[in-house]
Amino acid sequence: MSRDLRDAFGCFATGVTLVTTHWNGQDWGMTCSSFNAVSLDPALVLWNIRHSSASHEAFVHGGGYTVSVLGSEHKEVAQAFARGTQTERFAAAKFSRRKSGRLQLVHALAWFDCTLQQTVTAGDHDILIGQVDQYGSRAGKGLVFERGQFAVDTLAVGAASTSPF
C-alpha cells in the first residue's frame, strides 16, 4: 500500500480497542482500530485482521473474541498490544477472565464478549463478525487514533445523544 493511501486512511479518526482470544491453551491479544457495530438485533460486531498477522490463526480458529474499548488512560496499553510477545502484552495491564475463557481489560470503557459467527475474506484482511454474548460499559473518555497518533475524544462524559441517527 502506498504511503499516500495510508495517510488518507489515517484522516479518519477511530476508537481504539484491544481484541483478545484464547486458542490452543494461550491468550492472544492485539490493538485494533477497525472495531464496529453491525446490528442491534441480533447483536453483532466486527473487526478486521490482516492475513499476515502473527495472531491471525488464533483469532480465526479461536471460536470468538473479546473486545475491550480503551479509555484515555490506556495509551500505554494500546502501544504495548501493538508490539512485543503475547506474554509482554498481557503483562502491561490487569485483565479478568470471562466465562468464555477470554480475557477482558479491567476498567475498559466498554467490553463485548463474542462468539465468532462469520469470517469474510476481503483483500489482505479477514473481517470477523461476532455475536455479542455479554457486554458492559462505564463512563469515561475514549482513546482515539488519528493520523498515526493517539488522542482523547472531546465529548462530554455522559452527554445525551442529539443525533437523529
Give the C-alpha separation, 14 to 100, whole Å.
27
Give the C-alpha separation, 139 to 81, whole Å.
23
pLDDT of residue 53: 96
Cell 491471525 belongs to 56
pLDDT of residue 161: 53
- The band of 9, judged by pLDDT with boundaries at 50, 70 and 90, is confident
- The band of 8, judged by pLDDT with boundaries at 50, 70 and 90, is confident
- The band of 145, judged by pLDDT with boundaries at 50, 70 and 90, is confident
pLDDT of residue 164: 47
Q: Which of 14-18, 28-32, 161-165 has the highest mean pLDDT?
A: 28-32
- Which three cell numbers, joined as nine digits, stand for 99? 466465562
